[in-house]
Structure 1
Amino acid sequence: MRALLVLAALALGGAAATPVTAQSNAAACPTPLPTPPAPGTVSDGPPPPAWDLRCIELLPTARGGDASGMVTLTRPPSPFAVTVTPDGRHRWNLEARISGLGEPADLGDFTAWVAWATPLTLDPVVRLGEVENGTIGLGAVDFSKYLIWITAEADPATTERAGPLVLRGRSPSSRMEAHDLLANSPSATQGAPMAGDGAMGGDAMAGHDHGAAIGADGWLMPPANPDIPMLPGIMALRPEVSPLLLEVPGAEALPEVRERTVVDLPDGGTLDLEAGLVRKEVAGRQLVMLAFNEQHPGPLIRVDRESTIFVNFTNHTPFPTAVHWHGLRLDNRFDGVPGVTQDPVAPGESFRYTIHFPDAGIYWYHPHHREDIQQELGLYGNLLVDPIDRSDWSPVSREEVLMIDDLLLADDDVVPFGDEASNYALMGRFGTVDLVNGETDWTTEARTGEVVRFHITNASNTRTWNLSFRPPDGGPETVLPLKVVATDVGRFEREEMSGSVVIAPAQRYVIDVRFPSAGRWELVNEVQGINHRMGVFLGERRRIGTVEVSAERVATDLGADFEQLRVHREVVADIDRYRHHFDRPVDHELVLTLEGDALPLPVREAMQWDWIYTHPVEWTGTMTHMNWASDSRAARWMIREPATGRENMQIDWRFRVGDVVKIRVHNDRSATHVMQHPLHIHGQRFLVLSQDGVATDNLAWKDTALLPAGSTTDILLELSNPGRWMVHCHIAEHLEAGMKFVFEVEPAR
């Protein structure tokens, strides 16, 4: 892994920020780098740090003498668990630890050592700053693949590299190269089926990017990225479960889906909520889907903080189900988890929920029974909880509530689900059609100068989004500044500006956006996927909505308020009560990992190359076929407690109301497939204290934390709510593959 490979891959250029000199508190890379564990390695204790993803070893050239060094990669501060540019490039702070450098003058007419960064194309070459022996910050880099150079220079302030190279290193991402899978993964290259045996072959394989029938059993070939051709052995795979689709005789008689309505409920108010079948046209296809009260998304329930409402829920779907009120610290009896807090609500049956709202903010409701199917088909809606004192929030012209989702479609229908068990169990079910509030062409209007507050919820099964507002065809330099105000269970300690919003499944973010001029502004998701077979990054940019801004100016210009970044002193004061816990020892550790010994051999072989490098976030579905063919019985996703060896539902945690618990969560680098996990804790709230040893500098109460691949995250969990509560990954297919456990909170003495 650590060997320097041939420079042969497409690099996507970026820029480096002004160097900084402050030393981070992140764990420094060891010298020399240890060999990372092999994929699928099972460890009895916490996994070692993901050195191979976070370190760059600096090796001497012939003129470098005894010099050596190491560069540590850490995430720059941001309101999100990863820091990316609006066009989807990951941004890293670099900190160098160098020893053995002599005097620059020993090499000639030179006075200083200078660090540089450059993509593999060697253009541009960006100055990072002057260095010396010891530890020094080098600033931030957002190249996709890059080199780090240390050179001797005549002028310490030079902005162009001219002197001799003495140390050099390569980014972890540069290890990805085009791999000869024909030699290295033979089973992935063999076994292409004949078209007549019920599987894909011949002409059908040629058109797999559109989705096509593969046999009388009802399976459809999943849509695939046309830029990533699949090997025959991978194409020969098919799910080991039966396909499941909503097939309803007389579907044309079903009610047509309606737009979401807003239901304002007073304290003590009641809502009748029904889940049932609807007809909906999506991207030109007539689909049978699910909806609450025939609406997609379901009704937006708006209440005041500290109110209590009643919801009479009736299930008219073909599935057992329940309603989980995501993020709310409500009475445990009404948390909506079948088998934990209530029995499933059978088709035709009803259940009455009593819901209390102790916290202002944006929340949502969805099923917690085969949610990989029911949520994907449309069962979700928002709850907006208004603060008692609305002056707590900065003023805006108006508000928009957005639910972001994606739906996986083939030529004529939804790609089938697994019946006996969930398929898409490896990476989760990435959609092909983007939906905002259930629409493929979501549009809203604004006036020039208007400040709009967007309450955004990610209802996707697996996709993490990187959202920005920009003019049509505008690059990252044209994005509108976004003021990040709040997240899952409330506001941040302070507002801050960002170019984009990174939002994982189940998370919510509240942002303010000022539209400065007339014209069209697009809501864009721009990310970078990875073609592991060719070792290159694949940019993906999709418009998911539009804001049409008229020339009419807004009556009240809130531009000055928008520019002001408020400190939310009451939030700071609330969190102050817990700061003495921040540096205390960890109470519990968890490891998030995957055992995939039962996966098909071609998948296991191909994933050896996928494992060489992984982004902190798997942004898009680039391995569609082997993901489709992997079900939740073969891909065993786990939350493991290393102290006891217990896994998933074996984990036995017991607390009492008033406890405050520090938990360290390792996202195992050595898992068969390592990717991000949005970890959700029911019925409580927590703070994300640090990630990979770097303290969070702007806190907010959360219920869902994005845990990047190979990361270690410390959270502080406040136990305020008695009952039995679930912890799980909110990638729906990972939940179905077992990635969950339940802890108990007893009432205070």
Structure 2
Amino acid sequence: MDHSMMNHSKPSQPDNGKTASNSKTEKTRILTGNEFALIAVESNQQLSTDVTLPVWTFNNSVPGPEIRVKQGETVKVRLTNRLPEPVTIHWHGIPVPNAMDGIPGVTQNAVQPGQSFTYEFKAEVPGTYWYHSHQDSVNQVDRGLYGAFIVEPKDADKVDRDYTLVLDEWMSSGIPETSNSTGMSEMSGMSGMGHDNMNRGDSENHAESNAAGNDNQPTGMGHNMSMYDLFTVNGKSGPLVDKLPVKQGDKVRIRLINAGYLSHQIHLHGHEFYIAAVDGQPINHPGVVKDNLVRIAPGERYDIEFKANHPGQWLIEDHGANKAVAGMKAVIAYEGADLGPDRPNETANLAAVDMDRYGQAGPSSFTLDQKYTLEYTMNLNTEMKMGGMVYTINGKTFPETEPLNVKKGDTVKVRLINRSMMDDHPMHLHGHFFQVLSKNGQPLQGAPLIKDTLNVRPGEEYIVAFRADNEGNWMFHCHDLHHASAGMVTEVKYTDYKTNFKADPKAGNMPE
């Protein structure tokens, strides 16, 4: 099976004798097996033909290595920190033991410069996931500390080509760092790297850049995302993005992972396709679609599959009014085809696949009318406090937000309501999957939708449900990490769980 354009190799250590001022990143590798070494190190990444930026990396690449393991394997990952700041690794979407979740100050102390930490867990649920730093993550993810994590199922239909596309956004210019108006701490030395340089009190219309300009949302107060002028696929933009070779007749899977802080709307040219999985979880009898957009919010993953039955060179690209979308595209190139690539049409007005009605209804774990052990409501909002913008859950910011207190075995129903005027809130629950039951008061009509990250747009209301089946203290937060760092975080806390972890006040733990 041809997994991607990435190089297959065993874990290797980059040349860490180099300094960030002169080192250059390597090509992202695919690592297989069950024991891995990840080294956090500084480097420089060429993002486009004319932009090279300082980055923080795992194993000297952005994205970091794509880790592929088999379902049921026990995985060990040794993280070594050779950066000037503490780091951790969170396994986004993977139901790991709580002590392995990588949350500084909650499940572990941040790994200090020069130190190591070994993560160990069993990869029991197959699917497309990713990993990233959760220490000062609003800044560290922005600098490049992320990578794909694929759990291959024991029994599954084989595909001929299996590609992973990690989506992200960058600032191409070095804007001087500004103070954080919320009073949250910011990392130094982040010039030109992204979200941390924004003034969260800016009245710039977030909707204009959110979803890359695709979604018409109400205007109002919001944080300025317009500094993003460079969108990337696997750390590259425009002509630097690797082509995706296929042969006629191939069954092709493309795994889309959004590691950025904006939603993107992805269009596959020239082919019918179906959405095989969302957040790693399979869709029951997915329907075939063509010329529809796949809307993918921060933290989400969508696996699409298609039959390579239309020879030529075809684009898979982002859509929107923001001119930066032009860089977020890859070419699907048929081997032996001498036709030139088709034309981009990133401004075309195409409908997005409606996941509320997609696929066929089938057996599900939860219903709207069953009795639940606990019910919670989370009102998500944007407020001005002490001269700065904060993002609240039920009017409070973390750590003052009220946790969802559960016991093992509880069934939990959560109502998520976005009362922000213009900000999307992609809500991510650690350690668990939840089922989406309704949107805006209407039950879902399609396949059971099982997720760990759900985008709640302004004015929307969702009801989700999960079973408390993984003991620990777990984060539940917005994955626009500016919103998380400015307050939109709570926890799911098992009241009958006792942890041996003790936070070190000298560790500099920054969970968001």
For the Cα contact (< 8 Å) 1:582–1:689, is it kept in 2? no
Aligned partner of 1:488 in structure 2 is: 279
- Aligned residue type for 2:332: V
1:336-386 CA-to-partner distances (Å, cap 9, x unmatched) read 011111111111111111122121001110011222221111110111101
1:357-416 CA-to-partner distances (Å, cap 9, x unmatched) read 12100111001122222111111011110111124xxx4322111111111111xx4775
Helix, strand or coil for the counterpart of 1:596?
strand
Structure 2 CA distance, aligned partners of 1:428 and 1:728? 20
* Distance change >3 Å, CA 250–CA 665, structure 1 → 2: closer
* Distance change >3 Å, CA 722–CA 583, structure 1 → 2: closer
For the Cα contact (< 8 Å) 2:43–2:60, is it kept in 1? yes
For the Cα contact (< 8 Å) 2:177–2:197, is it kept in 1? no
2:366 corresponds, among 567, 578, 597, to 578
For the Cα contact (< 8 Å) 1:449–1:517, is it kept in 2? no
1:107-137 CA-to-partner distances (Å, cap 9, x unmatched) read xxxxxxxxxxxxxxxxxxxxxxxxxxxxxxx
1:69-96 CA-to-partner distances (Å, cap 9, x unmatched) read xxxxxxxxxxxxxxxxxxxxxxxxxxxx
- Determine whether 1:299 maps to 2:65: yes
Structure 1 CA distance, aligned partners of 2:324 and 2:65? 35
* Distance change >3 Å, CA 739–CA 273, structure 1 → 2: same
Helix, strand or coil for the counterpart of 1:587?
strand
For the Cα contact (< 8 Å) 2:412–2:465, is it kept in 1? yes
For the Cα contact (< 8 Å) 1:362–1:488, is it kept in 2? yes
Structure 1 CA distance, aligned partners of 2:168 and 2:176? 16
Structure 2 CA distance, aligned partners of 1:388 and 1:579? 29
Aligned partner of 1:274 in structure 2 is: 39
* Distance change >3 Å, CA 257–CA 418, structure 1 → 2: farther
1:465-495 CA-to-partner distances (Å, cap 9, x unmatched) read 100122xxxxxxxx53221010114111221
Structure 2 CA distance, aligned partners of 1:652 and 1:480? 46
1:459 corresponds, among 244, 254, 259, to 259
Helix, strand or coil for the counterpart of 1:506?
coil
- Aligned residue type for 1:466: Q
1:252-273 CA-to-partner distances (Å, cap 9, x unmatched) read 443x2111111111xxx32111
Aligned partner of 1:264 in structure 2 is: 32
* Distance change >3 Å, CA 279–CA 655, structure 1 → 2: same
| Regions of 4+ moved over 6 Å | 583-586
For the Cα contact (< 8 Å) 2:373–2:410, is it kept in 1? no
Tell me how far 1:418 sits from its aligned partner. Answer: 5.3
- Aligned residue type for 2:432: Q
Aligned partner of 1:665 in structure 2 is: 416
2:392 corresponds, among 638, 647, 664, to 638
Aligned partner of 2:128 in structure 1 is: 362
* Distance change >3 Å, CA 658–CA 418, structure 1 → 2: same
Aligned partner of 1:427 in structure 2 is: 223
For the Cα contact (< 8 Å) 2:248–2:311, is it kept in 1? yes
Helix, strand or coil for the counterpart of 1:448?
coil
Tell me how far 1:580 sits from its aligned partner. Answer: 7.0
Helix, strand or coil for the counterpart of 2:451?
coil
Aligned partner of 2:509 in structure 1 is: none
Helix, strand or coil for the counterpart of 1:317?
coil
For the Cα contact (< 8 Å) 1:423–1:733, is it kept in 2? no
Counterpart mapping for 1:709-748 below 5 A: 709-746=458-495
- Determine whether 1:439 maps to 2:236: yes
Tell me how far 1:598 sits from its aligned partner. Answer: 4.8
2:162 corresponds, among 399, 402, 409, to 399
Structure 2 CA distance, aligned partners of 1:639 and 1:713? 15
Helix, strand or coil for the counterpart of 1:297?
coil
* Distance change >3 Å, CA 335–CA 582, structure 1 → 2: same
For the Cα contact (< 8 Å) 1:323–1:366, is it kept in 2? yes
- Aligned residue type for 1:667: N
Structure 2 CA distance, aligned partners of 1:540 and 1:274? 31
Question: So what's the TM-score if we normalise by structure 2?
Answer: 0.75
* Distance change >3 Å, CA 578–CA 316, structure 1 → 2: same
Tell me how far 1:721 sits from its aligned partner. Answer: 0.2
1:425-450 CA-to-partner distances (Å, cap 9, x unmatched) read 34364521121111223222112343
Counterpart mapping for 1:619-698 below 5 A: 634-640=388-394, 647-650=397-400, 651-668=402-419, 671=420, 673-697=421-445, 698=447
- Aligned residue type for 2:281: G
Tell me how far 1:496 sits from its aligned partner. Answer: 2.0
Tell me how far 1:543 sits from its aligned partner. Answer: 4.9
Tell me how far 1:517 sits from its aligned partner. Answer: 2.2
Aligned partner of 1:206 in structure 2 is: none
Aligned residue pair count? 419
1:514 corresponds, among 281, 304, 307, to 307
Aligned partner of 2:138 in structure 1 is: 372
For the Cα contact (< 8 Å) 1:649–1:742, is it kept in 2? no
Structure 2 CA distance, aligned partners of 1:341 and 1:692? 35
- Aligned residue type for 1:445: P
Helix, strand or coil for the counterpart of 2:253?
strand
Tell me how far 1:302 sits from its aligned partner. Answer: 0.9
Greater Rg over alpha carbons, structure = 1
* Distance change >3 Å, CA 358–CA 286, structure 1 → 2: same
Tell me how far 1:301 sits from its aligned partner. Answer: 1.0
The runs of 5 or more residues in structure 2 that have no matched partner are 1-17, 187-195, 201-221, 339-357, 499-512
The runs of 5 or more residues in structure 1 that have no matched partner are 1-248, 471-478, 530-537, 554-566, 600-633
1:532-565 CA-to-partner distances (Å, cap 9, x unmatched) read xxxxxx9976552111223469xxxxxxxxxxxx
1:691-736 CA-to-partner distances (Å, cap 9, x unmatched) read 1012112223210001011111100122110000001000011111
For the Cα contact (< 8 Å) 2:19–2:42, is it kept in 1? no
Question: So what's the TM-score if we normalise by structure 1?
Answer: 0.52
Helix, strand or coil for the counterpart of 1:495?
coil
